Structure formats: C-alpha cells, structure tokens
Amino acid sequence: MNPDRFGCELEFVVNDEQDIQVKEKLGSLYGSNYLVDLKNSNIVSDLKQTKVHYKYEGSLESELGRELTSPVCSFEELKNYLTEFALMINTHGKTNSLTGLHIHMSSSDESGVELDLCKFTLLADAEKLLNNWGTRNKYCLNLMGIMDYLEFEDVILFKEHKGRVWNLLKRGSHHVEIRTFGGEDYQNKIQQAIKEIESYIEIFNHSTNENFASEEYLDKLEKHAEELDKMSQEMIENYLTAFPEIDSFLTLDFLHNPSNNSESSIPIYQSTYQIKP
C-alpha cells in the first residue's frame, strides 16, 4: 500500500520584524489559501489542515520561533511546498539545532493492513535513514536507541510531556510522522530530504504488507526481539503507558517468515513479552 496523503512542518526562527514579509510572500504564493496565528501553535479553525499555516512554535525556546505547515497534499505538491518554504526560511529566518522538518505520510485507504511501526523503524534503520542528519536535539530521540533511554525517570518525563519525542511516531492506523530531518541549515538540504522521503514511501509500502520480509529485515527483527527480552516487563509496561503510539516497537508476538507463500506466516521466534497496553 502506497501512501497518498502527505504534509510537512518546517520549524525556524524568523528574523526580527520579518513576519510581515513572510505573510506577504504567503499571499503572493497561495492567495487566500493560508492562515496565520503567531500566538498559538495550533490553528483550531483548520484542524483538518486544508490550508498553509504560519504559526508560533514554542519548542524553539524563542519568541521568534515559527512553523510553516502545508495542507494535506500529494507527494508532487509536497515537493513544491518544501522548496517554497525552504526559500522563505532562507530569506526571512534561520535554523538551528532545535529546528526540525517533520513529514507526515498516510493512506486514504484504511481498509488494508495496518502500518507496522516496528517494521517501518527497522527498515528505515537498515537504509541508514534514522541518524544521517547528525545528532538531533533533546526533543527528538532516535527510536532505535530506545534501549538506551528506557529508564524510569525518562518514562515520567515522557508521560508528563516535558521534553522528548521519538523521531518516528505512528499517528493513526495508516499514518506515520517522520522527524528524522533537521538541524542547523536543514533548509539547504531539501533535495536530500526529498530523496529520503522517496525511500520512506517504499518503506511505508513494505510496512503495510504482511508478506514482505527481506533477509536483512528478519535479521534485524530477531535481534530487536532478543534485546526486548532483556528488558523487564514492568519497564516496558511503563513505557507503553507513556507512549502508546510506539507500542508495536515494544511488543512482538512473533517474527514472520513469508517464504511459505501462504496466507498465514510461520512464527520463527517467540518474544518473552507479549504486552498489550
């Protein structure tokens, strides 16, 4: 299943007294198809994201923190928004270690196989997509490093929403948010981002296909399951309570071997923890 709905969020710090120039540019590009709110991080009048948004971004630790977001769109439209937003940032602002580019991809057909976040993450890691933008900030941790962060104190911080999120998040049954891009001057690497998004589209397809399992993927999945077996059940349950949107990355019923070409797959490894939140 290929994703057919996309969106982007580009964070930056606007230059002093440049908001009016940004709004003028938005008007010249999009006519009346944009909304502005420089006091709040959500524009409640357009929760379905039908227009371009220019709004305040509080996570950047600056009163001049801003975010440009696209409407829900096609991949071809997404590429145009990324290019246009990046040019606005270069002209009227700057980026730093706190700023990020977030990509949403989803399928409008939700009747098929639900996206498997664990498969998505392991395949992205196999393609070296999760950490090739350098060390990201404290708000964006690599999901593949979850074993390093699985401490009770961190669980409490996550639960209270005091600082950290993962660079891959499942937002719905067929919707994933990708936060791997960003950092200082990320707006000058838009073509690299587009190329990586194309790889993520293929990964999305594989992650909604029960029968896809390359040898490399199966090897990574078995190693991941072995690592989970080393964790205490209490810790994993705490983590699931704090972050239910990463549940499939922490709960493995079994690995699958699709080589039998049958409708049902063969379990080849049994994880100790089969926790359901």
The pLDDT tens digits of the residues spanning 202-259 come to: 999 999 998 998 999 999 998 888 888 888 888 778 777 777 777 778 876 434 334 3
The pLDDT tens digits of the residues spanning 40-68 come to: 888 989 989 999 999 999 888 899 999 99
Tell me if 125 is assigned to some domain: yes
> Does the pLDDT at position 271 exceed 50?
no
Q: What pLDDT, on the 0 to 100 scale, is given for residue 266?
A: 27
> Does the pLDDT at position 20 exceed 80?
yes
Tell me if 32 is assigned to some domain: yes
Q: What pLDDT, on the 0 to 100 scale, is given for residue 254?
A: 37
Tell me if 237 is assigned to some domain: no
Distance CA 96, CA 106 (A): 28
Q: What pLDDT, on the 0 to 100 scale, is given for residue 159?
A: 61
Residues sharing a CB contact under 8 Å with residue 86, sequence separation 6 or more, in sequence order: 10, 187, 188, 190
Q: What pLDDT, on the 0 to 100 scale, is given for residue 177?
A: 95
- Mean pLDDT of all residues in 7-26: 97
Question: Which residue's entry shows tokens 């990509």?
Answer: 103
Residue 78: name the closest of 30, 6, 12 by CA.
6
Q: What pLDDT, on the 0 to 100 scale, is given for residue 6?
A: 98
Tell me if 219 is assigned to some domain: no
Q: What pLDDT, on the 0 to 100 scale, is given for residue 160?
A: 63
First to last CA, the chain: 27
Q: How confident is the model at residue 191 (pLDDT cuts 50, 70, 90)?
A: very high
Distance CA 94, CA 31 (A): 25
Tell me if 158 is assigned to some domain: yes
Q: What pLDDT, on the 0 to 100 scale, is given for residue 157?
A: 67
Q: How many independent structural domains does the chain possess?
A: 1
Tell me if 221 is assigned to some domain: no
Tell me if 215 is assigned to some domain: no
pTM: 0.87
> Does the pLDDT at position 115 exceed 60?
yes
Tell me if 229 is assigned to some domain: no
Task: Provide the domain limits for residue 109.
Answer: 5-209
Q: What pLDDT, on the 0 to 100 scale, is given for residue 135?
A: 66
- Mean pLDDT of all residues in 18-46: 95
- Mean pLDDT of all residues in 6-23: 97
pLDDT higher at 250 or 35 = 35
The pLDDT tens digits of the residues spanning 145-159 come to: 877 766 667 666 666
- Please answer whether residues 254 and 123 qualify as being in contact, where contact means their C-beta atoms are separated by less than 8 angstroms: no
